[in-house]
């Protein structure tokens, strides 16, 4: 069997005020959910012109989530994230795949300024050595005012029940 449900929000304020008072979803937002029992696949798509949460504003927000028997894929982002009146990011995208005991993720943004400001982070979170969690960044960099800063390749963060170890987690200027 196959199921599909769609919800269009004209005035979601009463609902969000009741359950999540720090969340404001603007009118004309939508969520679609579908499930196929044949391939055991679930898909959720959400779109909003604007979402505000805890003082942060996400313009042209989207979230696409799919899952099957083996993995979960999440793709979310926005055209503009305003952290406050003077700090923000354009073209923000977070993509991740959850498979077995790991999360592979990629975070990108590219601001539309005269000087280049962008970031590219690729990482892996591993839960293989439970209760220890290992986090590693690959080929990651930030560009601030046309200046390139690359993440050291030997970086690793490990978290367990009694401590957090941070190894070589630093950016090096490439200019």
pLDDT in tens, 6-59: 999 898 888 889 999 999 999 999 999 999 999 899 999 999 999 999 999 999
Whether the CB-CB separation of 76 and 92 falls below 8 Å is answered with no
Separation of alpha carbons 141 and 154, rounded Å: 14
Residue reference for tokens 């979310």: 76
Which pTM was predicted? 0.86
pLDDT in tens, 70-129: 999 999 999 999 999 888 899 999 999 999 999 999 999 998 877 888 999 999 999 999
Separation of alpha carbons 136 and 152, rounded Å: 10
């Amino acid at each position: 069997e196959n199921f599909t449900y769609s919800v269009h929000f004209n005035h979601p304020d009463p609902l969000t005020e009741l359950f999540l008072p720090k969340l404001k979803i603007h009118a004309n937002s939508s969520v679609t959910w579908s499930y196929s029992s044949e391939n055991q696949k679930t898909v959720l798509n959400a779109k909003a012109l604007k979402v505000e949460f805890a003082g942060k504003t996400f313009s042209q927000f989207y979230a696409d989530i799919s899952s099957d028997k083996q993995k979960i894929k999440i793709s979310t982002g926005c055209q503009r994230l305003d952290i406050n009146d003077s700090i923000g990011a354009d073209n923000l995208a977070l993509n991740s795949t959850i498979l077995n005991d790991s999360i592979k993720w990629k975070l990108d943004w590219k601001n539309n300024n005269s000087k280049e400001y962008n970031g590219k982070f690729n990482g892996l979170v591993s839960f293989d050595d439970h209760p220890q969690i290992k986090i590693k960044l690959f080929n990651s960099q930030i560009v601030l005012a046309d200046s390139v800063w690359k993440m050291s390749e030997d970086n690793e963060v490990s978290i367990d029940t009694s401590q957090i170890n941070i190894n070589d987690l630093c950016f090096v200027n490439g200019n």
